[in-house]
Every structure is written in C-alpha cells, then in structure tokens.
A and B are shown apart, each in its own frame.
Chain A
C-alpha cells in the first residue's frame, strides 16, 4: 500500500462529555447482555473503573465490541463478509454501578486476522464518563492465551511489561476481570485511534 496521510475533507463535530446524567440516555435494559443468560460458553467480563485518586468512578459507561468465537464480525466491512451468530450481538454496554463496577455477559472471541497473522483474542473497550471530554479506548486480552498474546501485534507494540499487563484480564469465577484505571501509577494503556 502506498504511503499517504488522509486529512478529513469535511471537518468533524467535536466530542463532548457524557456529563453526569448519562444514565438516563445511554444504558439499555439488555445492554450488558451481548448474549442471553444460559447461552453455552457465556462468560462475564467484569471490572471496576478507578480515577487517579483510586476512587471508583460511579458515573461511567463501558462499551465492548468484539468478534464472535470464530473470529468473525457481523459487519459488511469484514472482508470475509458479514456473518452473524444468532443470539450474539458482539456489543455490550454497561453503566458503572455505585461501586464503580461494570459487567458484560458475552462469548470469548476467537483469533482475529491481522496484517501479519492472527491477533490474539481481544475485546475493544470504550469508557465514557463525567469528567472526560471524549471516550478513552482500551483492549481486553485473555490470560490463558499466553502464546497468542506473545505474538499479538498490539500487545507487542507496548514495551513496558507492567503497562502491557494492564490489558490482560484475570480469570475469576464465571469469567474474567479487568479493572480500568484512568490515571495514576497503574494507569491502563489507552489507545489513540
């Protein structure tokens, strides 16, 4: 592919904060359920969002987007063609609760093709909150995928081992846990996209 930079031809609309009242507009009753309860293979992705003082962020919203267990996306821009897994939305959305925690019921994604081989199974995460003028983006990786994680191009681009570890979830009862720290010593790696 040729080297080029794309400059937007039509200037974009600025981002603004969700503010303190996001809970009236954004959550859906079924938002946390990318799959229905009882679906074989369903697991919980849970975590707590912390601010720079280590306090839980109770007015945040976490959104997840991921491939299905075969590594496919239900989207026309997947070059293999859109393919939907019935009952699986791929998208989860959960406001944080009074303890700053989120929980999304989903399926473990499969490996996703990348430019030089497969990417390790991963979930893209957006965090919106009062006090943030635009979302921040991070990724969740799975702890048992040691070999795939070691070969993953995105994880591999993060040289600091401690920083890289902020993207790898911990196994826990019923699923996985990934805490998100917006600021501070163990600040989560966030991506510029």
Chain B
C-alpha cells in the first residue's frame, strides 16, 4: 500500500489482461461512451468495502427456473447451468444475488428493441435470479439461447451467451459478464469475446459441458464458475476512531 494525502491506497492491481478496455474500436458503441480522462484512484473506504445485502425478497417463486415462468414450456434445448461464485482470494461468495438474462432458443430477446425476424416464444421471458448457497453455489434451469445478428460489422453475429450480473460482498466486487458455450463457431468475429485481451481470460467466460450433472431424459448440463475480484479488508489507519461511536 502507498499513502497519498494521508490515505491508505488499496494495493489491488487491476488485471488489464482480463478486463476489456473501455475504448474498444472493434465494438463501435464504445466510441462515444468511454471516458477519455485517466481514472482517479479511489481508496477503498467504508462505502467501497460494503454493498447491499440482498435476500430472498428479491426472488420470485420461479426465478431459478426460466422454463416454468409461463403456462407452457419454452421451445428449445432445456439446460441446467450451475457453478460456484468465488472471489480472487479463493473464498466462496455465499448468499449473494445472481441475476441472468438471455435470448430465447431462436436468438431473440423479449425486448421492444429486438425486432429481427426470429420468433418470440410466448413461454419464455429470459430473466432469472437466484441467491448463492452457503458455499457460493448457484443453479438455473433454462433453455440454450440462440445466436443472433447485430449491426456492429458486416455479417455480425453474437455467439450464444447468457448475461450474468453479480453483487459479491463489496461495492468493488460488482460484476456484469457473459457466459458462453464451448465449441461455438462465432467467437472469431465477435468483438465482445475478443475485447478480453488474454486468451486464457477469454476461456474463463466459457462454460463446460457437464455430463455428470446432465439429467437423464430431461436436460443437458453446463457448469460455469465465476470469480469476482478480491476484497480489500482493513482499509482503516486507526479503527479505534471508527469504533468510538459504537453503541
């Protein structure tokens, strides 16, 4: 840690091989939406080491099973997606909210802005939520999403993916990412996938087909572990001062 203006500065080193740059010309929409000034260092204090403790009240009865949110079952290949959420210190992240959203099996989102001519599925919304268990594990039932075209470049198609949103235990751990499927043929032309500089880091967005969890006569399974950044504890120079007004 270094000290600036009497403040302890967190020693966390952002991994620039893992996280895409905000300015990524291959993804055209970044052009007007990336800050151009250098980011200002924000030492981690109380606001940054805490975050909302979200509980069961965030969940509806079928939020964990995207195939049971309507009268009938959605079209497509039923899949189980499960895994563990940990932080980069290796600790499981228990009881944290995991949110997902995705296209239907035909590659179309239930969103007014998505109007490419693939069918909407009346039995699929494409939105799910769960809390991780005590060991940081999560599990969803859904259908495998389809690929879809977009207009970023000529003949641009997004590889099949599920959007994931995670809170972790600290404001600094907040993560929105995408889970991809193994053996997808579309990675070579996808700027989202390619925006991650390091090939090994890209592979961390890839789910693994999981035959052992696959349920006979019912659903294929994929497993995907998510690693949030670490937490910087004890950012206080003198905790006594802070503790004075306890009670």
Contact = CB atoms under 8 A, between A and B. Distances in A.
Interface in B1-36: 1-2, 4-8, 10-15, 18-22, 24, 27, 29-36
Among A8, A91, A119, the one with the most B-chain Cβ atoms within 10 Å of its Cβ is A8
Using C-beta atoms within 8 Å of the partner chain, give the interface range for chain B: 35 or more
B81 interface: no
A82 B46 CA distance: 12
Interface string A148-176: 00000110111000010000000000000
B99 A157 contact: no
Given A18-B163, A25-B163, A80-B243, A157 B192 contact: no
Interface stretch (B68-76, B132-140, B171-179, B214-222): B171-179
B155 interface: no
B201 interface: yes
A1 B232 CA distance: 13
A-side interface mostly: loop
A15 B33 contact: no
A130 interface: yes
Contact of B32 (A16, A115, A182, A193): A182
A63 B47 CA distance: 13
B27 A13 contact: no
B40 A191 contact: yes
Interface in A124-152: 124, 126, 128-137, 139
Interface in A9-50: 9-26, 28
Contacts of A134: 19-20, 22, 176
Contact of A133 (B11, B21, B52): B21
Contacts of B243: 79-80
Given A3-B2, A14-B18, A17-B27, A132 B33 contact: yes
B46 A112 contact: yes
B227 A10 contact: yes
Contact of B236 (A7, A76, A79): A79
Nearest to B24: A133
A56 B195 CA distance: 25
A28 B58 CA distance: 9
B154 interface: no
A13 B227 contact: yes
Interface in B219-238: 226-238
Contact of B13 (A5, A116, A156, A182): A5
Contact of B49 (A77, A91, A190): A77
A8 B229 contact: yes
Contacts of A12: 15, 18-19, 88, 204, 227-229
A115 B29 contact: no
Interface of A: 1-26, 28, 51-53, 55, 57, 59, 63, 65-67, 73-82, 89-91, 112-117, 119, 122, 124, 126, 128-137, 139, 153-154, 156-158, 163, 182-184, 187-193
Given A82-B53, A112-B45, A135-B174, 19 more contacts: A6-B11, A6-B232, A8-B15, A11-B15, A14-B205, A15-B19, A16-B163, A17-B27, A77-B169, A77-B231, A112-B46, A113-B46, A116-B6, A134-B20, A135-B176, A153-B5, A182-B32, A193-B10, A193-B48
